[in-house]
Amino acid sequence: MVTDHHVVNHAQELTVVTHAGAELAVTGILAEDPVYDVVILETTGTDTPYMPLGGAESIHLGDATAVGLTLGTGRRTIPVHIGLIFPDDSGQRWIRFSGDITHGFSGGPLINKGGFVIGVTSSKEEGQADSNFALASDRIRELVDRAKNSVPLDNYNWKPPQYESLMLSRFQDPAYWYNKGVDALMSPKRSLEAFQRSVLVRPDFAPGYDALWKLALRQKDAKAQSDLHEEIEKHLPQPIADAIFTQTLKFTH
């Protein structure tokens, strides 16, 4: 069974409850990755139902389904929308999706239209009510392939979680999203989303607005220019706003 590392970290006793109500004791840990917040558990029971793990070709932008277990309401299955698939600095892919996700969805599967698990929900973006992240199935497949001997749960030496310090801070860095936009300039849609994220993370981030203004000019999008003009004047000092409008602000991208 696959779930988030932070959900079970330091546990000495765990029980998995199936959809049919059967209770399976967790007997050991097959593999863990505290950096990417994922762990593979070994349970009792045979012939238990499972969902197939999708490969890289299964992950696409568009509609998907998230499954979680929340206090008071039990298991929830909700429609979500995948808006961005992006690599981090080490090349690991992440999925950003919108949907009414609560804390009980951590460690739950993200499922595509074909019924394949394409990711594991990891976190919400701080300050963004409808922005969530899932670890793409690539990393899960790697862990599954290398999982061999189980270590008993009661003797397991849990590794300290590293996910928050490594990843969540990165998602809150406007320069991270700006650089993603620069890298994706050959794909206007992906580039636009990354630059938009940079100014959502920090509304006074001038390089992000400058990049968005350049894209709007290239695409001759009058509405985008009008909306941006208002946002830029609202969030930036007038001299910087004027430099963006006249294309005299010196940022390279």
Specify the range with the lowest mean pLDDT, choosing from 17-31, 181-195, 199-213, 227-241.
Answer: 181-195
Residue 86 has pLDDT above 80, yes or no: no
Q: How many CA atoms lie within 13 A of 168 on its CB side?
A: 15
CATH number of the domain that residue 118 is part of: 2.40.10.10
Query: 149 and 131 in one domain?
Result: no
What pLDDT does residue 235 have? 92
Residue of higher predicted confidence among 157 and 63: 63
What pLDDT does residue 56 have? 81
Residue 250 in domain: no
Query: 64 and 44 in one domain?
Result: no
Query: 184 and 75 in one domain?
Result: no
CA–CA separation, 244 and 169 (whole Å):
28
Query: 203 and 90 in one domain?
Result: no
Residue 251 in domain: no
Query: 228 and 199 in one domain?
Result: yes
CATH number of the domain that residue 227 is part of: 1.25.40
What pLDDT does residue 168 have? 54
What pLDDT does residue 18 have? 82
Task: Print the domain residue range for 46.
Answer: 2-50+145-162
| Report for 83-87, 141-145, 156-160: range of highest mean pLDDT | 141-145
Residue 36 in domain: yes
Residue 38 near residue 4 (C-beta atoms within 8 A):
yes
Burial environment of residue 195 by CB neighbours within 10 A (0 to 12, 13 to 18, 19 or more):
buried
Residue 17 in domain: yes
Residue 70 has pLDDT above 80, yes or no: no
Indicate the Cα dihedral angle 128, 220, 84, 203, nearest 10°: -30
What pLDDT does residue 104 have? 81
Q: What tokens appear for 27 in the block?
A: 């007997």
Query: 61 and 33 in one domain?
Result: no
Query: 25 and 91 in one domain?
Result: no
- DSSP H or E stretch at residue 177: helix 174-183
Q: How many CA atoms lie within 13 A of 195 on its CB side?
A: 24
Residue 88 in domain: yes
Categorize the per-residue pLDDT at 122 as very low, low, confident or very high, splitting at 50, 70 and 90. confident
Query: 157 and 45 in one domain?
Result: yes
Query: 130 and 62 in one domain?
Result: yes
Give the pTM.
0.64
Average pLDDT, the chain: 84
In sequence order, what E strands does the chain have? 2-3, 15-17, 23-33, 38-43, 62-70, 74-87, 93-98, 109-111, 117-124, 132-136, 151-152
Query: 45 and 150 in one domain?
Result: yes
User: Total structural domains in the chain?
Assistant: 3
Residue 252 in domain: no
Q: What is the DSSP letter of 114?
A: T
Specify the range with the lowest mean pLDDT, choosing from 33-37, 72-76, 161-165.
Answer: 161-165
Residue 119 in domain: yes
Categorize the per-residue pLDDT at 125 as very low, low, confident or very high, splitting at 50, 70 and 90. low
Query: 43 and 11 in one domain?
Result: yes
Segment 92-112 shows an average pLDDT of 86
Query: 60 and 45 in one domain?
Result: no
CA–CA separation, 210 and 201 (whole Å):
15
Residue 98 in domain: yes
